[in-house]
Amino acid sequence: MNPWLSLALGLGVLTFGADLLVRGGASLALRLGLTPLVIGLTVIAFGTSAPELAVSLKAALDGNGAISVGNVIGSNICNIALILGLCSLITPVQTTRQIVRREIPLMLAATALGVVFLLDGMVSRVEGGIFVASLVGYLVFTVWQARRDAAAAAAALGDELPPKKPLFVSIWFIIGGLIGLVWGADRFVTGAVLIAEAWGMNQIVIGLTIVAVGTSLPELATSVMAAIRKESDMAVGNIVGSNIFNLLCILGLTALVRPIQNFSLSPVDLIVMGAVSLALWPLAASGGRISRTEGGVLLAVYVGYTTWLVMQAA
């Protein structure tokens, strides 16, 4: 298939899949008595991180560890700087006390762990096991908190979500949306990598830019659709949850399958990932929302970082 056609087809399927996923996720949250935030942090975050997992595992098995690491770091930067920036430009993204006090600090802890393990230029099986064990702990904690807050969640939902759909309809919406996201992302990434290689870009730059943006398209499509549908909790929960999954699940499972080594990562990449992750905390806490101006700053940071990467590669 022509790489440009693959790009266009992938983008179209991604958009359709994201719409299905947001509709199904919101309905399932209402049906189960959970908030959209919890659904965004778990079901949708894991689902939209599936392309990163698939790409990283394949890259590691093929001996292309640089693409795996670049994919995760680039995706986490992209999630906050590009995706939340765009969502905030569309409509100011509302944040909750739970996100500021609990979810973002957990994301920062996962980011700090990732930086420490990546500094020596490899991720061993032991470090991969620590990542996966941390992920299990995070999921158990999230589910426990969701059950503990069930009564408050039911009161908070009110009439804010769409009317209940039958359970099987919600589940099929989610499954169909995830299939569309994964397939669409695969088509997009395939076309983008072929074009990038034809332009002479190296592995780490491809991983940090083209592959990172491509595999983040599910998060982009889902979060933008959630913002348009006024589901801010789901948009922010998807981003924060996806960043946690990217580090703990993707790097962890990839390293367990095959230790990741011999990747030439610049300290600047780790600094940028840590900086945008840390910046999200005060941005989310200020006024209970991320404004259009703050979204514009995040977007400018991403453009500047991507420009620096391309210039370094050149």
CA distance linking residue 128 with residue 62, whole number of Å: 18
pLDDT tens digits, one per residue of 83-99:
888 888 888 887 777 77
Could you tell me which residues come within 8 angstroms of residue 249 by beta carbon, excluding any fewer than 6 positions away?
46, 49, 53, 131, 132, 135
Percent over 90 (pLDDT), the chain: 17
DSSP assignment letter at 165: P
For residue 39, the model assigns a pLDDT of 67
CATH number of the domain that residue 111 is part of? 1.20.1420.30
For residue 60, the model assigns a pLDDT of 72
Higher pLDDT, 55 or 255: 255
CA distance linking residue 22 with residue 226, whole number of Å: 6
37-51, 129-143, 179-193, 224-238: segment of lowest average pLDDT: 37-51
Secondary structure of 55-89 as H, E, C letters: HHHHHHHCCCHHHHHHHHHHHHHHHHHHHHHHHHH
For residue 161, the model assigns a pLDDT of 44
Q: What's the mean pLDDT in 48-54?
A: 67
Higher pLDDT, 307 or 63: 307
Domain that holds residue 188: 3-313
For residue 95, the model assigns a pLDDT of 78
Q: Is the pLDDT assigned to residue 162 strictly greater than 50?
A: no
Q: What's the mean pLDDT in 153-181?
A: 66
57-71, 113-127, 158-172: segment of lowest average pLDDT: 158-172
For residue 88, the model assigns a pLDDT of 86
Q: Is the pLDDT assigned to residue 272 strictly greater than 90?
A: yes
Looking at every residue in the chain, the average pLDDT score rounds to 77
For residue 289, the model assigns a pLDDT of 80
For residue 101, the model assigns a pLDDT of 84
Q: How confident is the model at residue 30 (pLDDT cuts 50, 70, 90)?
A: low
The pTM (predicted TM-score) of the whole model is 0.75
For residue 158, the model assigns a pLDDT of 47
Phi, psi (deg, nearest 5) at residue 220: -60, -50
For residue 67, the model assigns a pLDDT of 72
Q: Is the pLDDT assigned to residue 155 strictly greater than 80?
A: no
Structure tokens given for 279 = 């910046």
For residue 120, the model assigns a pLDDT of 84
Q: How confident is the model at residue 290 (pLDDT cuts 50, 70, 90)?
A: confident
For residue 263, the model assigns a pLDDT of 67
For residue 287, the model assigns a pLDDT of 72
For residue 160, the model assigns a pLDDT of 47
DSSP assignment letter at 162: P
Q: What's the mean pLDDT in 273-283?
A: 91
Which H/E stretch holds residue 135? helix 125-148
For residue 269, the model assigns a pLDDT of 87
Tally the domains of the chain: 1
Give the range with max mean pLDDT: 147-156, 202-211, 299-308.
Answer: 299-308
Q: Is the pLDDT assigned to residue 300 strictly greater than 90?
A: yes
For residue 311, the model assigns a pLDDT of 78
